[in-house]
Chain A
Amino acid sequence: MNGIHDCGGMDGLGPIDREIDEPVFHNDWERKMFGVFILTIVGGLFNDDEFRQSRERLEPVKYLQFSYYRQWLLAVQRLLVEKDVLSMEEIEERMKDLAKEDG
């Protein structure tokens, strides 16, 4: 698709922002996101090409602004829902439960 991800040669995207001594993961949720991505793709729930396409379908503003692993999260979530592994309802329900636990 002719999406925002296809950005080779595009102008005006700004300077290349480099984090000094960037860690592999910035926090625990990034770790979990990477881990669950690997387990679901290696487990055969979806393939690389399906994953890339899912990420490409993210709205352009979100694609440019959301952090990398947050984009992965939305891409994987979409695939899990489209493939009937999870439903949005149960995800939102679980989020509410977890938020209550956190107090």
Chain B
Amino acid sequence: MAESDGSGDADGDAALRVNAIVSLLVDKGLVDMEALDGIVQAYETKIGPHNGAKVVARAWSDPDYKNRLLENSNAAIAELGFAGAQGENMVVVENTPEVHNLVVCTLCSCYPWPVLGLPPTWYKSPPYRARVVRDPRGVLREFGVELEEHVKVQVWDSNSEIRFMVLPEQPSGTEGMNEADLAALVSRDSMIGTAKVIVPE
């Protein structure tokens, strides 16, 4: 009986084709299924935006760390134990009361995996990729973010090996909170730049 994959008709014969290719590669000794499962497990459970949230919380709590993070993002992120594929060349960009940053990859879907995990479908899809470079304020509005008039918007198009992460502004009233509690406030979208960090009521 076929494994249930919930793909339905929308994806045509994709499930069958993937299964065929994987089983052929296994037969030819090119792919090991335990390795495949290990990779899937790592990106499904271990590597995700909770990593980036820790980086943000540390930067909010420790001004020296924040300086290191902005000066040499790779080294500072590695201090917290995060590194690897699609994060070999990190640049962290800081949101301030005057400047709001957003990250995109117009040409495909480049994204800083070690700190944010795998990207959501909307980030990888043409509507976001096409519009955010041209009308970032309109995109922010669609995400429910209204910027004050004086704020300048900067968009970072990730077309090289460099991967960007936004350091969102620390919301007022959270000074003195411990790092774990701060990290819990930091959403994935705030590290892409399509959200601000808010304190829930």
A26 touches B6 (CB 8 A): yes
Q: A35-B40, A38-B39 are in contact. Are A67 and B10 (CB under 8 A)?
A: yes
Q: Which of A5, A17, A69, A102 contacts B14 (CB 8 A)?
A: A69
Write the nearest CB–CB distance from A73 to chain B, whole angstroms. Answer: 6
The interface size of chain B toward A, counting residues with CB under 8 Å, comes to 59
Q: Which of B25, B43, B127 contacts A86 (CB 8 A)?
A: B25
Give Cα A98–Cα B5 distance, bound, in whole angstroms: 14
**Cβ-based interface call for B99 (8 A):** no
Report chain A residues within 8 Å CB of B11.
29, 66-67, 70
**Cβ-based interface call for B148 (8 A):** no
Q: Which of A13, A31, A55 contacts B44 (CB 8 A)?
A: A31
A29 touches B19 (CB 8 A): yes
A68 touches B109 (CB 8 A): yes
B2 touches A102 (CB 8 A): yes
Best-surrounded residue of B5, B21, B129, B139 (most CB of chain A within 10 A): B21
B25 touches A40 (CB 8 A): yes
- Among B1-19, those with CB < 8 Å from A are 1-7, 10-19
B5 touches A76 (CB 8 A): no
**Cβ-based interface call for B117 (8 A):** yes
Report chain A residues within 8 Å CB of B25.
36, 40, 85-86
Report chain A residues within 8 Å CB of B31.
36, 39-40
Report chain B residues within 8 Å CB of A70.
11-12, 14
A6-36 vs B, CB cutoff 8 Å, 1 = contact: the mask equals 1111110111111100101111110111111
B130 touches A32 (CB 8 A): no
Report chain A residues within 8 Å CB of B5.
27-29
**Cβ-based interface call for B179 (8 A):** no
**Cβ-based interface call for B142 (8 A):** yes
Give Cα A64–Cα B157 distance, bound, in whole angstroms: 20
Best-surrounded residue of A35, A77, A98, A102 (most CB of chain B within 10 A): A35
B39 touches A77 (CB 8 A): no
- Given contacts A26-B6, A35-B36, 7 further A-B pairs with CB under 8 A are A7-B106, A11-B134, A13-B131, A55-B108, A67-B11, A90-B24, A103-B1
CB<8 Å pairs between A and B, sample of 30: A13-B130, A22-B120, A27-B15, A28-B4, A31-B44, A32-B18, A32-B22, A32-B36, A33-B18, A34-B118, A38-B39, A39-B30, A40-B25, A45-B30, A52-B107, A64-B126, A67-B14, A73-B18, A77-B17, A80-B21, A85-B25, A86-B25, A91-B17, A92-B20, A95-B16, A95-B17, A95-B19, A102-B1, A103-B1, A103-B2
